[in-house]
Structure 1
């Protein structure tokens, strides 16, 4: 406890010292800018001093150090400018300051363009109209125009450079980096431990047949109970006479093959032993107990295999956590400053900005922002600023706010995918059933992945619905936390094997679309066919022959990969749609149905497919039917 408090105190002290250093650096930078502002007052061209209003406007657009800048500029004008032009440029500075402050008060922001316009037009107006009162030092209209153009261009170009100069880059603490590396290594060590346990459990083999040692133990147990109390035991089991050994071997073999001794072995045993009936009954009882023990042992091994799969999943998650995304703050300092600058232009204060390169190669921006003046700023303004600074099309997470207020809020931006998806579903419930045993799921993850899932519970009604709903719920949870589809399916199957009831099986049909590239992975476990309708009306069919989840410890995952393009449709169906088409080749018939439907609306496509199928079934719904359709389009 004491160590923890000391570490927390040390962390606070170190952060406080770092903040003090940053404030000191910022103060020196502002002081340096005020000195530069005073010195630019010495630079004159043809009786004009355009750097005075230009430099003042470029620096004044920044919030920090405005009074220090004003003092420095006024001191410079008094020291270096002729008395005849002090009034002109003093009024120009006043116009710039009033314009910027009024814009910030009314619009809650002031853009660089507005500051540049105020500086150039204010100076131009003072050059023209101020000359009426000072004919001797009046400059030409051409010189006034050139001065105004120079001022405008200087402010636009210099404002960004001054923002970069004032931008502070906080250096990450070396201790934090060391702690991060230590935690990463610990996670990798944990992952190796779980992998080792998994291999240990999987190395235990099942007992498919009785081993020689077990058969010998059965013989010893039977003879120990029956023959040990018999007076002729030493004669019957004499090493020189193999008769009883052969008879017991044939007795055990008969029990192993048929569950009882054959008639010939029984009669020979009766001729050689007066307790033949007792021996047979005792052998059957011991043998049955051994078979029961073997069954329980194999069941225990199955559970160990399930645990081994779960340990593999845990190891995968730990390895994935250890492979953290790459932080780009050190390499992309200019982009970070550009984001802050553009956010400031939109009236938003970016308190923290971080850039990351994720494991899939795409960029992520994490910002902590608030409204600069306490008003509400639309999120689209910040999105535009981030997109422009990164030169990427980005989108905020779906749970982000619509407006940015005075309170700090975290906003996460991801690269916008190349495609967007639209989906629709149509369902029919089996005649006489209260609910459908089919369930579906459509999940679009923040990393640009669309996961379509369809599950058909065995049978129909409430029980089938409950089974398929449980399957999809578990599947969504596994995928959301970062498991791969294969690992999620294996863990799902493990859960169903452990807690599932007899015949409580469900099919799983998963389609995973990468919206960045269009690459699509298909995972089928006992599922029906999936169809792909391309833009040219050509239809592909993917079929499955594997068992549903929960039917066996070792789940067979049928996997395929396809490349989708703009305008392609995915059609996923449950077996009730295909089984009752009353044709030898239902997949081919459904391909023709899908190809002949002319619509680009997924919901309407799914509905029309069911309508066509109902024509084949004469309006009868003999099983639950579900059609899930989705289309991808380029953004």
Structure 2
């Protein structure tokens, strides 16, 4: 019983903890939303920033922050400008009533001048800093004149400095205020935006100069806290930048704080270097920097206060929720959070794109089904209806005026109908000829038999034309259905490829980089896209190699040893100047290569042959060899065969399966012309990874495979393309080996030898007697042998293609990398 109670209590406790954790997360999120609503949407953040900038001083005298801040807020968030004005005047009032009056006067002067000249301004963004510059210059000079009744050279110089600072600060605030007031931002921060944000935050912190809590300086605590945040989020580079910029602005505000810039910069560097230790490591970096730089202070008391300020900043940093730092990190390029955010965005875009492609694929599949699903019953009913129309037209011309109409169609309807239908069907099948028996039976039944037969023959011409048109329409529908189905399959495969997320190969990239650098090859950058077997894809950036071929001679062989498969250079972009970089792409080498040779001749030695051939390497790792023989000779046959191969090549390169491609080409050829122009097709698809081959022969002659002294014949029985509209493509599959010779030829070569009864045996014997294994020599010898057998005459177009399968051996041998694990993702 106790065990049962314990088993029940433990899950209940876990559920209770999870619920409390979820409630806490929801509570924090609600609090964050309320805080954002108060600070950002209602404008209290601008009120707070304005208050601190209103009392911020430069060189203990100048206040260049007020007018630039108000001008930027007025330009970006005009509805919140009154709140910013209240904050600025209130902050200036903490310094003196005169300073508050001066701030209000300069802002009022800015508004008046801006209202007067607004109609003449085309680009407010460019003109706004100049407005601020001249108004600050006039206001500062007027203040000096009112207080001292004169404007000295020193006063003019200070007025120029303040106006120049206002000009620069206006540009900075225009960049940085949107980062604070727009809560929903998706883009990463640019470098200039980060710097502007840091300057603005440091400027706001100068408003806390003079504030102390138990002898601890507030501006020191906040500045160190800011360095801790950015060092933890972005590392040493940004951390040191924040330290230098913040310390520089503090030193301008108070010259006694000059050493503080060194402390903040050093703390940013150490904290960023120790960020792998999380918050403790970053805090330790600030503490070490405080101890080292604090020695420049004034005595033991100064060091103790500095250490206490650092401890308070560290405490605030440790109490900062992870939610805040993670949110800041999302907008800074190079951080893990930013990369995760980008990957999430790309994953979402990828999924949306894949879904849309899949929807398109479904639409094309549905369209294909709508074209291909033709009900047999509907076709049968249509045929019966057409037969009824045919007989109705015949009887209208012959039986309407016959005196035996009632006898034939009322009393003997079935007999009359059946006999006329049989006559019509026989005439349709036998080109208008009717058998003697059926003709005698019809003569006995009908008194106007000859007239009816003539009417049937006349009507049959229109009936056959309609039937042919109907068949062409049905064939067109079938062609469209097959094409739509092929497109649907290609788009479905494309959607699956889109959904394959690019894996992160940081570990493998470091291993490859380290291995190559230890060998003495300098690599600037490595990026791995795929490490799948047979589909390796790696990009590298290397220094200028001066044309020595390091990529092909060193890097590719070393990668081959690291990855355990042959890697070759796929593409290379060399630098155009000595100090530049070369960009190289490495891919998996194909296991086999194909070396080809072709012999070609036209009938009677003419220039135009009816044969066409093509050898193309498809992007899917396959090599296609095709021969097409147009019916007859000359330009028309050449056009037919060439058109067949071009259509086939384009369809195959689109990724559509071979059978569908051949059927599509056949349908196009059969629909395109009414002339009896047909083409044969001999297609071999060789897989470059395993050397398997598929033969698709459409009305073509046999092919031969020579392996050593043995010759095998490959043949299939299919009619030429364009003769019939529907046919099944017979596929013959074979497994080739390295050293095999594949010989394909047109009928002009296969049937060319004279006084030969068995062409198969003759061709096998000639191929087996060949002593060379070079494809081009074999093609020339076979062509020469056939022409010699006919005493030098060429009575038909002749084409021979010979392909030799061999292992793909790289030009440079593999270089072993010592003491490195060969890992594959």
What's the TM-score once normalised by structure 2's chain length? Answer: 0.52
1:325 deviates by 6.9
- Distance in 2, Cα, partners of 1:538 & 1:22: 75
Query: Equivalent residue for 1:349?
Result: 524
- Distance in 1, Cα, partners of 2:347 & 2:485: 28
* Aligned counterpart in structure 2 of residue 253 of structure 1, from 422, 445, 451: 422
For the aligned residues, what is the CA RMSD? Answer: 4.1
- Distance in 2, Cα, partners of 1:178 & 1:364: 25
CA gap of 1:432–1:538, structure 2 versus 1, over 3 A, is: closer
Counterpart check, 1:546 vs 2:721: no
CA contact (8 A) 2:544 2:575 kept: no
Query: Equivalent residue for 1:570?
Result: 742
* Aligned counterpart in structure 2 of residue 528 of structure 1, from 694, 698, 701: 701
- Listed one character per residue, the Cα deviations across residues 277-319 of structure 1 (whole Å, up to 9, x for unaligned) are 7766555544543343222212211111111111121112111
- Distance in 2, Cα, partners of 1:525 & 1:12: 62
Counterpart check, 1:27 vs 2:199: no
Query: Equivalent residue for 2:371?
Result: 201
Bigger Cα Rg: 2
- Listed one character per residue, the Cα deviations across residues 110-144 of structure 1 (whole Å, up to 9, x for unaligned) are xxxxxxxxxxxxxxxxxxxxxxxxxxxxxxxxxxx
- Distance in 2, Cα, partners of 1:307 & 1:181: 29
CA gap of 1:348–1:475, structure 2 versus 1, over 3 A, is: farther
CA contact (8 A) 1:327 1:357 kept: no
- Distance in 1, Cα, partners of 2:619 & 2:660: 20
CA contact (8 A) 1:338 1:389 kept: no
* Aligned counterpart in structure 2 of residue 619 of structure 1, from 763, 788, 792: 792
Query: Equivalent residue for 1:63?
Result: none
3-state DSSP of counterpart to 2:604: coil
Query: Equivalent residue for 1:336?
Result: 509
- Distance in 2, Cα, partners of 1:288 & 1:520: 48
- Distance in 2, Cα, partners of 1:212 & 1:200: 23
Query: Equivalent residue for 2:574?
Result: 403
CA contact (8 A) 1:577 1:625 kept: yes
CA contact (8 A) 1:326 1:356 kept: no
3-state DSSP of counterpart to 2:572: coil
Counterpart check, 1:479 vs 2:652: yes
* Aligned counterpart in structure 2 of residue 438 of structure 1, from 599, 611, 616: 611
Query: Equivalent residue for 1:300?
Result: 473
3-state DSSP of counterpart to 1:298: helix
CA gap of 1:617–1:10, structure 2 versus 1, over 3 A, is: farther
Query: Equivalent residue for 2:347?
Result: 177
Q: Which runs of 5+ in 2 are unaligned?
A: 1-181, 195-228, 241-284, 293-333, 810-825
- Distance in 1, Cα, partners of 2:607 & 2:557: 50
1:336 deviates by 2.2
CA gap of 1:287–1:195, structure 2 versus 1, over 3 A, is: same
1:568 deviates by 1.1
1:384-423 matched pairs, under 5 angstroms: 384=557, 386-387=559-560, 389-397=562-570, 400-401=571-572, 403-405=574-576, 411-423=584-596
1:327 deviates by 5.5
CA contact (8 A) 1:305 1:553 kept: no
- Distance in 1, Cα, partners of 2:465 & 2:633: 34
Higher-RCO chain (CA-CA 8 Å, sequence separation at least 6)? 1
Query: Equivalent residue for 1:312?
Result: 485
CA gap of 1:342–1:449, structure 2 versus 1, over 3 A, is: farther
- Distance in 2, Cα, partners of 1:411 & 1:22: 36
3-state DSSP of counterpart to 2:497: coil
Query: Equivalent residue for 1:556?
Result: 728
What's the TM-score once normalised by structure 1's chain length? Answer: 0.66
1:443 deviates by 1.9
Query: Equivalent residue for 1:187?
Result: 357
- Listed one character per residue, the Cα deviations across residues 375-425 of structure 1 (whole Å, up to 9, x for unaligned) are 76744255356445534321233xx23635577886543211222221111
- Listed one character per residue, the Cα deviations across residues 15-36 of structure 1 (whole Å, up to 9, x for unaligned) are 448998999766349999xxxx
Q: Which runs of 5+ in 1 are unaligned?
A: 1-8, 33-71, 80-165
3-state DSSP of counterpart to 1:323: helix
CA contact (8 A) 2:574 2:583 kept: no
Instruction: Report the count of equivalent residues.
Output: 485
Query: Equivalent residue for 2:642?
Result: 469
- Listed one character per residue, the Cα deviations across residues 225-266 of structure 1 (whole Å, up to 9, x for unaligned) are 666688x79855784x32x66345434432332347866466
CA contact (8 A) 1:370 1:404 kept: no
3-state DSSP of counterpart to 2:659: helix
CA gap of 1:305–1:25, structure 2 versus 1, over 3 A, is: same
Higher helix share: 2
1:625 deviates by 1.5
1:530 deviates by 0.9
3-state DSSP of counterpart to 1:335: helix
3-state DSSP of counterpart to 1:492: helix
- Distance in 2, Cα, partners of 1:298 & 1:283: 21
Greater CA drift, 381-390 or 190-199 = 381-390
1:573 deviates by 1.0
CA contact (8 A) 2:347 2:501 kept: no
Query: Equivalent residue for 2:802?
Result: 629
- Distance in 1, Cα, partners of 2:233 & 2:545: 28
CA gap of 1:342–1:497, structure 2 versus 1, over 3 A, is: farther
CA gap of 1:23–1:224, structure 2 versus 1, over 3 A, is: farther
- Distance in 2, Cα, partners of 1:354 & 1:199: 42
- Distance in 2, Cα, partners of 1:448 & 1:238: 70
CA gap of 1:25–1:476, structure 2 versus 1, over 3 A, is: farther
3-state DSSP of counterpart to 1:497: helix
